[in-house]
Structure 1
Amino acid sequence: MTARPLQTGAPVAIDYLETYPNLIPVCASWTFGQWGCQSNDSYERTIRDFEAATKSSMPLTLIATQDNIPVGMITLGERDFEGRPDLSPWLKSLYVHPFHRNKRIASLLIERLVHEASRLGCDTLYLTTEDAKYLYEKSGWQEIDRIRTPYGEAALMKKVLPPFAVD
């Protein structure tokens, strides 16, 4: 599925990670480097998590590419923040490579993940963010609490999803 083109350059394509198993190590490296190495996780476990990603259930990971180069990713998962096991599902692991930031790729990934969550029958999504609250607010998310994560003070956010419409 090709998303809207960016201001310059080739369009960004967003697809299921399972379509590109060769990119699993890229996603694992991004995730482990950004979050896992700070939470006593292991790179091998991170690889296994992405190998389990599918398009028909959770976890579901989307990969953004531009000119066949991976530029970002996002995951829909059942669990994320251990402090709130009553909340599910979660937007997790939104990552855009630093060379490709500020080009709307994060917004495109969020928009597509919301669509995929609705397709899977979800009516609400949750996330935590230490430093990207404004990005999510622009996409209709609302802060519902302030929490402490392994990475610091964070906003716990929620988005009520529109019903899935069959095209």
Structure 2
Amino acid sequence: MAAKHTYIQAPIAIEYLESCRDLISVCASWSFGQWGCQANGSFEQVEREFEASTRSSIPLTLIAIEDSRPTGMISLAEYDFGGRPDLSPWLKSLYVHPFHRNKGTATLLIKKLEHEALRLGHKKLYLTTEDAEGLYTKHGWLEIDHVRTPYGDATLMTKILPDAIQA
């Protein structure tokens, strides 16, 4: 009789990048590879943006850790793209490594970032997405416009944060 194997998935922890400074280059690599190389930016510029991350103000980056490995990230930023400087702050740089997708990591990151925005005194957030409207709509985000970003056509979305978000 063949032995049955039971695999236990390690819990996903959400940490401040400020507490995991050795992962700044990982976040910069993910961000530059996904978006930066399309926006005429440099890897060094992206890395500097992540080096500025703090837990007490904007910019703030959270990183998902599973089994001692970074699996995803999300940031809270003053601005996202140059087209709407009247809107702030922004959810940006939501990225989950392909090997770790469909495990709920994006949901955990979004919820934690919303909680952090509230903690810092923000009542409303904005984001742009080229292809993930469904993910954000599922979490209560509303489409408010269509815009052109350095990455192409995108949907501009917003969310009014409830007074008490469950973290």
Q: Which TM-score band applies after superposition, normalised by the shorter structure? A: over 0.9
Q: Secondary structure at the match of 2:113?
A: helix
Distance 2:109 2:16 in 1: 11
Decide whether the 8 Å contact of 1:121 with 1:164 is kept in 2: no
Aligned to 1:158: 158
Aligned to 1:134: 134
Distance 1:149 1:89 in 2: 17
Q: Secondary structure at the match of 2:74?
A: strand
Q: Deviation string for 1:10-50 (max 9, x for gaps)?
A: 00000100100000000000000000011111111111111
Decide whether the 8 Å contact of 1:75 with 1:91 is kept in 2: yes
Aligned to 1:3: none
Q: Secondary structure at the match of 1:63?
A: strand
Structure 1 length-normalised TM: 0.93
Please state how far the C-alpha of 1:164 moved relative to its aligned partner: 5.2
Distance 1:97 1:76 in 2: 19
Name the amino acid aligned to 1:104. Answer: G
- Tell me, which stretches of 5 or more residues in structure 2 are unaligned? 1-6
Name the amino acid aligned to 1:78. Answer: E
Name the amino acid aligned to 1:23. Answer: L
1:93-112 equivalent positions in 2, closer than 5 A = 93-112=93-112
How many residue pairs match? The answer is: 160
Distance 1:127 1:55 in 2: 20
Please state how far the C-alpha of 1:163 moved relative to its aligned partner: 2.3
Which stretches of structure 1, 4 residues or longer, exceed 3 Å deviation after superposition? none
Distance 1:63 1:33 in 2: 17
Distance 2:151 2:35 in 1: 8
Structure 2 length-normalised TM: 0.93
Give the fraction of aligned pairs with identical amino acids, expressed as a percent: 66
